[in-house]
């Protein structure tokens, strides 16, 4: 079933614009008004994510803003573009980071190294039809905390920078946040 069919079957399409909030809830597994997993509901996302639809007629294409509340990337706001293909849930969504960032698992061009976004993963943690967009949101949010991986980097320069000088790495991250992630 396509995203559009799921939304239609869940009565997301109404005359007013509240259907977008319902779609966010459907896609992200219980988010209210675009804010993901509020702390008071006992979820780990702590309100650090917000989904939005640049074009309300294209519900398979949306953006996710991640605002980490701890770690190196605290105080930044990082935009991701998510395209859900027709073959979803059999294939993963296409995800790209729109915010320039100094990160070992995200290139400055927006490519992302996150195993659950891989169709075929050697370690068995890649995409599976049982995965959901909620898993994708969790993964993107976790790239700034517990999935921050300096040992298997996509951006080798950032990982080596961290290994060489953690304080200078932190300063460069903060400089990128100041210039690109506000």
Report the 3 state secondary structure along 17-85: CCHHHHHHHHHHCCCECCECCCHHHCCCCCCCEEEECCCCCCCCEEEEEECCCCCCCCCCCEEEEEECC
Q: Of the listed 12, 49, 97, 113, which one is catalytic? A: 113
Q: What is the largest CA-CA distance in the chain?
A: 56
Q: Is the Cβ–Cβ distance between 160 and 54 less than 8 Å?
A: no
In the residue annotation, 31 being an active-site residue is answered as no
How far apart CA 97 and CA 110 sit, in angstroms, is 4
Q: Which residues are catalytic?
A: 113
């Amino acid at each position: 079933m396509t995203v559009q069919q799921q939304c239609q079957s869940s009565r997301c399409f109404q005359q007013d614009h509240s259907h977008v909030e319902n779609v966010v809830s459907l896609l992200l597994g219980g988010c209210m008004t675009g804010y993901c997993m509020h702390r008071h509901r006992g979820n780990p996302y702590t309100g650090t994510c917000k989904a939005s639809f640049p074009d309300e007629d294209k519900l398979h294409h949306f953006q996710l803003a991640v605002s980490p509340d701890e770690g190196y990337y605290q105080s930044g706001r990082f935009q991701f573009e998510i395209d859900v293909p027709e073959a979803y849930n059999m294939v993963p969504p296409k995800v790209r980071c729109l915010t320039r960032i100094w990160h070992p698992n995200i290139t400055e061009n927006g490519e992302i190294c996150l195993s659950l976004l891989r169709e075929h993963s050697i370690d068995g943690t890649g995409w599976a039809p049982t995965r959901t967009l909620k898993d994708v949101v969790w993964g993107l949010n976790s790239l700034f905390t517990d999935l921050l991986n300096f040992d298997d980097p996509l951006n080798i320069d950032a990982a080596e920078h961290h290994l060489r000088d953690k304080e200078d790495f932190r300063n460069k991250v903060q400089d990128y946040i100041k210039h690109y992630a506000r």
